[in-house]
Amino acid sequence: MISNFKGEDSTYDFGKVAVLMGGISAEREISIMSGKAVHAALCGLGIDAHAFDTRDNSLFRLVDESFSRVFIALHGRGGEDGEIQGALQSLGIPYTGSGVLGSALAMDKIRSKLIWRSLGLMTPDFVEVNEKEDLDTVSQQLSFPVMVKPTHEGSSCGISMVTKEEDLYTAWEKANGLDSSVLIEAWVQGPEYTAPILGSDVLPIIRIETPREFYDYQAKYQNDSTRYIYPCGLEDEQVWEISKIILMAFESVCASGWGRADFIIDSEGIIWLFDINTVPGMTSHSLVPMSAGYAGIKFDDLVFKILATSITHDESIRKSA
């Protein structure tokens, strides 16, 4: 649990901290917003924090300028997929959140689903489409509507809902423009929820409602009509059962530290897992801070607790040095 970290002690010296943000993924704009919010919070706590856009700066600067650790606020590929984690591991610099394997598996929607299925966890049926010609098999394996997603993107980038076969190619082309691997997934009808994870605790679950067809990029970042409902309306016993499933899904892909899981509950009460996010949004209006706030954790305290997850990498880096 996060409370076991000595980083909870405000006297712990984190040293010089780089807040990695920006980058070159499709989620650059959101990452900059998250990074700026995190940087401001850390500075407000008296921590020697510095904004660091990985698009404009070499990671070797982290070594040259004697940074002690990194708060990763990079979203999408290059930030959540194990790439930056592997680079920091090689440089011997501790960082927040999941390690290389956990980041890579959680970012890969298809590999995550295969692991969950092996454990008996529910996730929608799917087809992976790498070539245009593979689209002909989709209607044989799935019923419409379907969701078309880049396998390795977040923030609903490149996602489309397709209700009829003749629209499938256009949606695939959109997703394929961001990723050579495209996930085509069975549609599940039901309310959507998100469950933030902090250490080994599941924070209050949030129910998401949008008048749009689904919770897409516009619903997340541009529309004021999206509603975030907490308490989420589920019974305590159901929340307890969901929390166990969420932690199993999170840990099964080797994710650690903090993150967020998205799921839908259908009319029969079945919990359908969709995504694990290992570097969720961290603006003051993002889902993890929203949930933490409801649990009584202020934004600055949340940022501090997440920075404390970098301590778990200290020992492993020392051992590998």
Q: What angle do CA 313, 197, 48 make, to 5 degrees?
A: 50
Domains of the chain: total: 3
DSSP 64-118: HTT--EEEE---STTTSSSHHHHHHHHHT--BSS--HHHHHHHH-HHHHHHHHHH
H-helix or E-strand spanning residue 273 = strand 271-277
**Same domain as 242, residue 115:** yes
Mean pLDDT over the full length of the chain: 88
**Same domain as 81, residue 54:** yes
CATH number at residue 180: 3.30.1490.20
**Same domain as 21, residue 136:** no
What pLDDT digit, counting tens, does each position of 216-241 carry? 455 455 456 688 998 999 999 999 99
DSSP 110-154: HHHHHHHHHTT-----EEEE-SGGGGGGHHHH-PSSEEEEETT--
Look at residue 158 in the predicted model and tell me its pLDDT.
79
Mean pLDDT value across residues 51-76: 96
Q: Could you give the residue ranges of the DSSP H alpha helices within the chain?
A: 28-44, 60-64, 83-91, 100-107, 109-118, 138-141, 168-176, 217-221, 236-252, 287-294, 299-308, 311-320
How far is C-alpha 150 from the chain's CA centre?
Answer: 15
Mean pLDDT value across residues 13-34: 92
**Same domain as 161, residue 172:** yes
Domain that residue 131 falls in: 126-186
**Same domain as 143, residue 269:** no
User: Is residue 216 within 8 Å of 147, Cβ to Cβ?
Assistant: no
Residue that the structure tokens 């454990």 belong to? 119
Mean pLDDT value across residues 274-288: 90
**For a pLDDT cut of 90, what percent of the chain falls above it?**
69
**Same domain as 31, residue 136:** no
Kindly state the tokens that stand for 186.
């069975």
Mean pLDDT value across residues 183-193: 93
Residue 314 has pLDDT above 70, yes or no: no
**For a pLDDT cut of 70, what percent of the chain falls above it?**
88
Look at residue 6 in the predicted model and tell me its pLDDT.
38
184 vs 77, residue with greater confidence: 184
Most confident among 100-114, 161-175, 205-219 (mean pLDDT): 100-114
Final residue in a domain of this structure, among 137, 160, 186? 186
**Same domain as 139, residue 16:** no
